[in-house]
Amino acid sequence: MVQTEAYVILSMVLFAMGTLGVLLRRNAIIVFMSVELMLNAANLALVAFSRQWQGVDGQLFTFFVMTVAAAEVAVGLALIVAIFRTKQSINIDELHSMEG
Amino acid sequence: MTLEVFLFMIVGAVTIITAALMLMSDNAVHSALFLIVNFLGVAFLYLMLEAPFLAMVQIAVYAGAIMVLFLFVIMLLGAEKTGAGSHLRRFRWMAPVAIGLALVFMWAVGSALTSGQIDMQTPPATAAQVRFVHAVALPAADAESSLPADRVFVLLVNGDVVDESFAYGEASDMLDIAPGTTTLSLRETADGADLVTTTLELAGNSIQTVVLAGDEAISFYAVPQSDSAGLTVFNAYAPLPSISLGDLKGELFTDQARRVLPVGADDVPFGTYTEPLAYPADFPNWVAYIPGGLNPEPGKITAQELQQNILLRVSEFLPEMRYGENGLVIFSADRTSDGDIRPIATRFEPVFVEGFGSPVRVGQTLFTDYLLPFQMVALLLLSSMVGVIVITYRGDHTPKPSRETRRKVARPLTSVITSQTGTDLADNAPQLPERAETSAGD
């Protein structure tokens, strides 16, 4: 049986990579995909701890996270489409019209 | 290195490499495809983590629905080329800070893991499920015994009374008992001395049936619950040292065709149980007989042997037993109204053991303990759907062209009107210049 620590370390690496993607990439869609990667990394840790403690609760939380992620992706992509209509770009750096 | 560790390393490496490729790819479509592979790898890890339901949801929802939405939007907007080189244009200080943040995060998790602040080594003790079955027959009418005549006992587990009148033929409900060494005892009255005391090693999460059997010397016998399909047979019939089971064929016809097929339960001693036996689909006629009493050679069983050796027609006691089911059958002694002892078979419904992380287990928890969050998530999905429609709705639509702006092409109609009214409407209509005027101009 693979130890829970191994899964937690893998989840940590994936989460850090997702963070890098969110902070470094300028394409809004890639940023969104990096957020999905971070959510998946958190899910992996939840499922690993769920097995460790032999309780289904962690798996149910993962289920809820997936559902919320689906809603979040739908709304976020709709926002990206709406922004692209007005700005003709999804580069985050060009979306600074709300600066004071 | 076991196969599981090997698979974990392969799949873990695949997820990390695809995540890196997703981050570094210039083409957004390639990024989305790498992310799909990453999600499939995570789904495989869910399978290894005993979460098959989540693995399927991961593939269907994440790698399927969500990523199709991503690809659709990328291609709708024509935003494949992301220009990875221009990412440092505005915030030059972003890259080192981001890498620093990631390193700090990894250091925090790593130090928490290595310093043992996450308690990994002590999996919790989950209760074992145990049910008790009273299979000690009432004594024959003329028997002498030191036990209570009605064989009703007080059952104690670890010194606590769990059943005050445990009578013959009763089966208790499933009781949750903490794992470890458990002391089972029987008393005649709650305050009296122990008649029988046994210690039992219970593993966590295990499911067992503890059978109380015997004639004068009563004992507890633990029968573990089996996951595999088939019939587990426990022999609690005290008057004989052992019994055998066989499938009796051709009994109604001639002696030549009569034979006993082995079913894998020859000579089961008292107080033991068999491995799960496959219960056939085609008209089984299982009988319990005295070991060695029936001639195993085909056609050599005489009617007298049948009379003397067959204890019980088991299949008559299992009318609802179907092929592929699992169950527990206990042979025990029963006292007839005449005071004689005869064998009977009692079938106990199988305990439905749901695997950890299976859809049924997840669904049961979801619809009992987590019903409110489930409903709230459903509302969230509904409101996000409405929100998406509101965000992407174009309000500045142009009105439909009205009736007046249609072109009139009814020139033949004017000639009809002219012929009926007498006045020539066609006079007002634009006309070609006449040839006479042009000639006059010359």
Calculate mean pLDDT across residues B153-181.
82
Subunit contact A78:B392, Cβ cutoff 8 A: yes
Q: What is the pLDDT of residue B412?
A: 65
The answer on pLDDT for B427 being more than 70 is no
The answer on pLDDT for A79 being more than 70 is yes
Calculate mean pLDDT across residues B16-27.
93
Chain B touched by A63 (CB under 8 Å): yes
Q: For an interface test with B, which of A14, A33, A66 has the most B Cβ atoms less than 10 Å from its Cβ?
A: A33
**Could you tell me if B291 and B242 are in contact, meaning their C-beta atoms sit under 8 angstroms apart?**
yes
Calculate mean pLDDT across residues B65-87.
79
The answer on pLDDT for B23 being more than 80 is yes
The answer on pLDDT for B441 being more than 50 is no
Domain boundary among B225, B252, B276: B225
Residues in A touching B62 (Cβ below 8 Å):
36, 40, 66, 69
Give dist(CA A51, CA A47) in Å, integer. 6
At B12, the pLDDT band (50, 70, 90 cuts) reads: very high
Nearest residue to A67 (alpha-carbon basis) of B75, B392, B366: B366
**Could you tell me if A35 and A27 are in contact, meaning their C-beta atoms sit under 8 angstroms apart?**
no
B123 → closest Cβ in A10, A34, A52: A52
At B253, the pLDDT band (50, 70, 90 cuts) reads: low
CA distance to partner chain B, nearest, from residue A46 (Å): 10
Cα B19 to the chain's mean position, in Å?
31
Calculate mean pLDDT across residues B300-310.
76
Task: Retrieve residue B159's tokens.
Answer: 């010194």
B4 → closest Cβ in A2, A17, A70: A2
Q: What is the pLDDT of residue A70?
A: 92
CA distance to partner chain A, nearest, from residue B316 (Å): 41
The answer on pLDDT for B409 being more than 60 is no
Q: Report phi then psi at B297, rounded to 5.
A: -75, 140
Give dist(CA B151, CA B138) in Å, integer. 6
Give dist(CA B113, CA B200) in Å, integer. 37
Q: B266 and B376 share a domain?
A: no
ipTM reported for the complex surpasses 0.85: yes
Task: Retrieve residue B435's tokens.
Answer: 């040839």
Give dist(CA A11, CA B57) in Å, integer. 19
Residues in A touching B10 (Cβ below 8 Å):
none
Calculate mean pLDDT across residues B260-276.
82
Q: For chain A, give every domain's residue range.
A: 4-94
Q: What is the pLDDT of residue B127?
A: 76
A21 → closest Cβ in B5, B23, B361: B23
Q: How far is CA A18 from CA A54, B82, B272, in A?
A: 28, 17, 58
Single-letter amino acid, residue B124: P
**Could you tell me if A8 and A48 are in contact, meaning their C-beta atoms sit under 8 angstroms apart?**
yes
Q: B312 and B242 share a domain?
A: yes
Instruction: Please state, rounded to an integer, the average pLDDT across all residues of chain B.
Output: 80
**Which residue of A lies nearest to B42 if distances are taken between CA atoms?**
A44
CA distance to partner chain A, nearest, from residue B69 (Å): 8
A24 → closest Cβ in B42, B87, B118: B87
pLDDT digits (tens, 9 = 90+) for B217-247: 788 888 887 666 678 888 888 888 888 888 8
Q: For an interface test with A, which of B382, B388, B394 has the most A Cβ atoms less than 10 Å from its Cβ?
A: B388
Domain boundary among B306, B333, B353: B353
B126 backbone φψ class: left, alpha, beta (φ>0; ψ -120 to 50) = beta
Give dist(CA A71, CA A78) in Å, integer. 11
Subunit contact B391:A20, Cβ cutoff 8 A: no
Subunit contact A8:B20, Cβ cutoff 8 A: no
A74 → closest Cβ in B58, B69, B118: B69
Does a structural domain hold residue B394?
Answer: no
For residue B387, give every residue at least 6 positions away whose Cβ sits within 8 Å of its Cβ, in sequence order, or none.
A75, A78
Q: What is the pLDDT of residue A59?
A: 92
- The neighbouring-strand residues paired with B222 are B210
Residue with tokens 């990024």: B31
pLDDT digits (tens, 9 = 90+) for B99-127: 999 999 999 988 888 887 666 656 666 77
Q: Choose the most confident range, by mean pLDDT, from A51-60, B217-226, B284-293, B332-341.
A: A51-60
Q: Report phi then psi at B242, rounded to 5.
A: -160, 165
**Which residue of A lies nearest to B18 if distances are taken between CA atoms?**
A14
Residues in A touching B45 (Cβ below 8 Å):
7, 10, 44, 47
Calculate mean pLDDT across residues A18-39.
91
For residue B69, give every residue at least 6 positions away whose Cβ sits within 8 Å of its Cβ, in sequence order, or none.
A73, A74, A77
At B41, the pLDDT band (50, 70, 90 cuts) reads: very high
pLDDT digits (tens, 9 = 90+) for B25-36: 889 999 999 999
Residues in A touching B65 (Cβ below 8 Å):
70
The answer on pLDDT for A37 being more than 90 is yes
User: Which of these ranges, B38-47, B62-71, B253-262, B388-397, has the smallest mean pLDDT?
Assistant: B253-262
Task: Retrieve residue A36's tokens.
Answer: 């999905």
For residue B137, give every residue at least 6 positions away whose Cβ sits within 8 Å of its Cβ, in sequence order, or none.
B151, B168, B215, B238, B332, B333, B334, B335, B341
Residue with tokens 């995570």: B42
Does a structural domain hold residue B412?
Answer: no
CA distance to partner chain A, nearest, from residue B117 (Å): 12
Q: What is the DSSP letter of B404?
A: T
Calculate mean pLDDT across residues B8-26.
94
Residues in A touching B91 (Cβ below 8 Å):
93
Q: What is the pLDDT of residue A16?
A: 94
B99 → closest Cβ in A20, A44, A66: A20
Residues in B touching A33 (Cβ below 8 Å):
22, 31-32, 35, 70
In chain B, the percentage of residues whose pLDDT exceeds 70 is 79
Question: Quick one: angle between helices B359-368 and B371-392, nearest 10?
Answer: 90
**Which residue of B lies nearest to A41 if distances are taken between CA atoms?**
B42
Give dist(CA B230, CA B350) in Å, integer. 10
**Total tally of structural domains belonging to chain B:** 4
CA distance to partner chain B, nearest, from residue A75 (Å): 5
Residues in A touching B51 (Cβ below 8 Å):
47, 50-51, 59, 62
Q: What is the pLDDT of residue B313?
A: 80
Residue with tokens 């097995």: A51
Q: What is the CATH number of the domain that holds B56?
A: 1.20.120.1200
Residues in A touching B54 (Cβ below 8 Å):
47, 59, 62-63
Q: Judging by beta carbons within 10 Å of its beta carbon (0-12, 13-18, 19+), is residue B222 exposed, middle or buried?
A: middle
- The neighbouring-strand residues paired with B327 are B231
Give ∠ CA B361-B362-B363 in degrees, rounded to 5.
90
Does a structural domain hold residue B98?
Answer: no
The answer on pLDDT for B184 being more than 80 is yes
Q: What is the pLDDT of residue B166?
A: 83
**Which residue of B lies nearest to A95 if distances are taken between CA atoms?**
B90
User: Which of these ranges, A13-17, B43-47, B106-110, has the smallest mean pLDDT?
Assistant: B106-110
**Which residue of B lies nearest to A68 if distances are taken between CA atoms?**
B377
Q: B240 and B345 share a domain?
A: yes
Q: What is the pLDDT of residue B407?
A: 55
Q: For an interface test with A, which of B3, B8, B36, B42 has the most A Cβ atoms less than 10 Å from its Cβ?
A: B42
Does a structural domain hold residue B399?
Answer: no
Domain boundary among B52, B82, B112: B82
**Could you tell me if B157 and B129 are in contact, meaning their C-beta atoms sit under 8 angstroms apart?**
no
This prediction has a pTM of 0.63
Does a structural domain hold residue B434?
Answer: no
Question: Between residues B119 and B204, which one has the greater pLDDT?
Answer: B204
CA diameter of chain A: 55
Instruction: Please state, rounded to an integer, the average pLDDT across all residues of chain A.
Output: 88
The answer on pLDDT for B410 being more than 60 is no
Q: Which fold has domain A4-94?
A: Helix Hairpins (1.10.287)
Residue-number span of the structural domain to which B69 is assigned: 3-82
The answer on pLDDT for A38 being more than 90 is yes
Q: Residue B72: how many CA atoms within 13 Å on its side-chain side? A: 11
Single-letter amino acid, residue B118: I
Does a structural domain hold residue B102?
Answer: no
User: Which of these ranges, B237-246, B302-311, B368-377, has the smallest mean pLDDT?
Assistant: B302-311
Chain B touched by A15 (CB under 8 Å): yes
Chains A–B, number of C-beta pairs less than 8 Å apart = 215
Sign for the pseudo-dihedral over CA of B36, B38, B44, B47: negative
Q: What is the pLDDT of residue B5?
A: 92
